[in-house]
Amino acid sequence: MQTSIFWLRKLLLAVSIALSLIAANLAHATDTFDGQYLTIPQVAVGNTTYTNVIITVGSLVGVAGGTPTASFDTYDSATGLLTIPSVQVDGSTYTNVTITVGSVISVGGSFSSRNYPVVDTHAHIDPTTSLDLGVTTALEIMQRNGITHTILMSPPRPTTAGLDAQDLVASINGHQDKLFVSAGGAALNGIIQTTSAQSVTASVQQSFLNQANTLAAMPVVGFGEIAIRHLSMIKMGSNHPYEDAPGDHPLLFALADLAAQKGLPLDIHLDVAPQDMGLPPRQIFNPATPTYLTENLSGFERLLAHNPSAKIAWAHAGSDPLQTRVPTLERTLLSTYPNLYMSLRIGAGNAQPGEIFAAQPVIKPEWLALLQDFPDRFVLGSDYFYAPTNMREQTEQDLQRIGQLLDQLPIDLARKIAYQNAESLFRLNLSL
């Protein structure tokens, strides 16, 4: 036991320690320590339960080990002791740890303060996971992280057989009170990616629309995820595809017309290049991603202008790999195109302007101003890939940042972004 305490002391003093969470199939919340801050998903202080609490550590009192004896942290204000059922430090898990608290950095909020639905409009079942297991995992992880409803969809690639509308709809049977489906990320996106704009004839378009109509007849709430430009990322694996189609592709125009007719929003993945540009020197891209990207913003604007009745949800605002989705660009587009909406994927945060959070989980002033100026145009969209094990450098902290954002917003704006906008945009029937 002394050896365990010695190593934990040593690790707690490390200057830079990777963040990670325990495997998703564990039922208890797991703290993480990054060498400076301890992040606590859930802690009980007397009769109040708080979430997303960040503190500094005073001193280590002891490590009991064994099976966690509680589901979340408890703080005894009389003794000043914090008891932690499970904590991750540099990839190792320690259980039943007792510490003193240094100082409280931030408090996300109490469970009781978020007494409204939270809708994630953009998530996936990991392609390596069976749909049934993925749905079960999704429901468990959603419950742990305060997400009440999720829209599932296929990633935008033609090789995800079994993850498009028909199979996804079947997989959520019995859970339609919490899960919804968007259609076409495999079938329709695959056709768009493999059909050049110049080769679209009347018969090609009609065949495409026949498939789209078949999907629209199912109990789905949108079309997606459809790619205009989709960069290949290292963290998503070596097979993560690079895809590139013009925003004014005639099949996208046809799909927008059908989406307007059916009242089904288009969920669009666009890694945007406002002008021709070299790939940023960030070691996050697979070789499949070209080192030089041609401008594609104008084609997207032509899609937005093509049918103003077609509602388009542009995914992944707030954590942009190219760092081109800055608030000034998004403000211009939102001002110009009333049919444009954006879903927020909240990254860990840094100084880059495309990130909604700073290095600490605090919303940047320019992003807060954007949300406040367009309160009806933003929804949540985690881009989480549900699987029983971590396959894509994701942890449940990716989902906990949703609560961290909502708890920093004025309550009326928080409610709009958490569920009211999604309820209206996707015509959802929400229940708790």
Q: What is the 3-state secondary structure (H, E, C) of the chain?
A: CHHHHHHHHHHHCCCCCCCCCCCCCCCCCCEEECCCCEEEEEEEECCEEEEEEEEEEEEEEEECCCCCCCCCEEEECCCCEEEEEEEEECCEEEEEEEEEEEEEEEEEEEHHHCCCCCEEEEEEECCCCCHHHHHHHHHHHHHHCCCCEEEECCCCCCCCCCCCHHHHHHHCCCCCCCEEEEEECCHHHHHHHHCCHHHCCHHHHHHHHHHHHHHHCCCCCEEEEEEEEECCEHHHCCCCCCEECCCCCHHHHHHHHHHHHHCCCEEEEECCCCCCEECCCCCCECCCCCCEECCCHHHHHHHHHHCCCCCEEEEEECCCCCCCCCHHHHHHHHHHCCCEEEEECCCCCCCCCCCCECCCCCECHHHHHHHHHCCCCEEECCCEEECCCCCCCCCCHHHHHHHHHHCCCCHHHHHHHHHHHHHHHCCCCCCC
pLDDT digits (tens, 9 = 90+) for 381-390: 999 999 988 7
Whether 292 has a pLDDT exceeding 70, the answer reads yes
330 — alpha (psi -120 to 50), left (phi > 0) or beta? Answer: alpha
CA angle 68, 71, 77 (to 5 degrees): 95
Which pLDDT belongs to residue 390? 73
Query: To the nearest whole percent, how much of the chain has pLDDT over 90?
Result: 65
Whether 160 has a pLDDT exceeding 60, the answer reads no
User: What is the C-alpha to C-alpha distance for residues 297 and 277, in angstroms, rounded to an integer?
Assistant: 12
User: What is the C-alpha to C-alpha distance for residues 418 and 354, in angstroms, rounded to an integer?
Assistant: 21
Query: Which of 114, 123, 99 lies closest to 40 in space, CA to CA?
Result: 99
Q: What is the mean pLDDT of the chain?
A: 88
Who wins on pLDDT, 229 or 282?
229
Question: Could you tell me the pLDDT band of residue 431, with boundaries at 50, 70 and 90?
Answer: confident
Amino acid at 71: S
Whether 13 has a pLDDT exceeding 60, the answer reads no
Question: Could you tell me the pLDDT band of residue 16, with boundaries at 50, 70 and 90?
Answer: very low
User: What is the C-alpha to C-alpha distance for residues 270 and 144, in angstroms, rounded to an integer?
Assistant: 30
Which pLDDT belongs to residue 54? 81
Per-residue pLDDT averaged across 218-230, rounded? 96
Question: Could you tell me the pLDDT band of residue 95, with boundaries at 50, 70 and 90?
Answer: very high
Question: Could you tell me the pLDDT band of residue 29, with boundaries at 50, 70 and 90?
Answer: confident
Class of domain 114-425: alpha beta
Query: Which of 429, 430, 416, 327 lies closest to 379 in space, CA to CA?
Result: 416
Spatial contact of 381 and 316, defined as CB atoms under 8 Å apart: yes
Who wins on pLDDT, 400 or 205?
205
Structure tokens at 166: 């028909």
List Cα–Cα distances, 165 to 84, 127, 135, 247, in angstroms: 42, 14, 14, 23
Per-residue pLDDT averaged across 13-31, rounded? 42
Sign of CA dihedral 354, 359, 365, 369: positive
User: What is the C-alpha to C-alpha distance for residues 422 and 296, in angstroms, rounded to an integer?
Assistant: 27
Structure tokens at 405: 């954002």
The CA R_g of the chain, rounded to the nearest whole Å, is: 22
Which pLDDT belongs to residue 301? 98
Spatial contact of 109 and 411, defined as CB atoms under 8 Å apart: no
Whether 90 has a pLDDT exceeding 90, the answer reads no
pLDDT digits (tens, 9 = 90+) for 300-319: 999 999 999 999 999 999 99
80 — alpha (psi -120 to 50), left (phi > 0) or beta? Answer: left
Which pLDDT belongs to residue 360? 79
Structure tokens at 330: 């998004």
Question: Could you tell me the pLDDT band of residue 240, with boundaries at 50, 70 and 90?
Answer: confident
Whether 14 has a pLDDT exceeding 50, the answer reads no
Which pLDDT belongs to residue 418? 97
Per-residue pLDDT averaged across 400-426, rounded? 94
pLDDT digits (tens, 9 = 90+) for 33-66: 988 789 888 888 876 677 778 888 889 999 999 9
Whether 136 has a pLDDT exceeding 90, the answer reads yes
List Cα–Cα distances, 389 to 32, 126, 376, in angstroms: 17, 10, 35
Question: Could you tell me the pLDDT band of residue 290, with boundaries at 50, 70 and 90?
Answer: very high
Question: Could you tell me the pLDDT band of residue 18, with boundaries at 50, 70 and 90?
Answer: very low
**Domain residue ranges of the chain, discontinuous segments joined by +:** 2-111, 114-425
Question: Could you tell me the pLDDT band of residue 4, with boundaries at 50, 70 and 90?
Answer: very low
Whether 154 has a pLDDT exceeding 70, the answer reads yes
pLDDT digits (tens, 9 = 90+) for 325-356: 999 999 999 999 999 999 999 998 888 999 99
Which pLDDT belongs to residue 47? 67
Per-residue pLDDT averaged across 286-298, rounded? 95
pLDDT digits (tens, 9 = 90+) for 162-176: 568 889 999 999 999
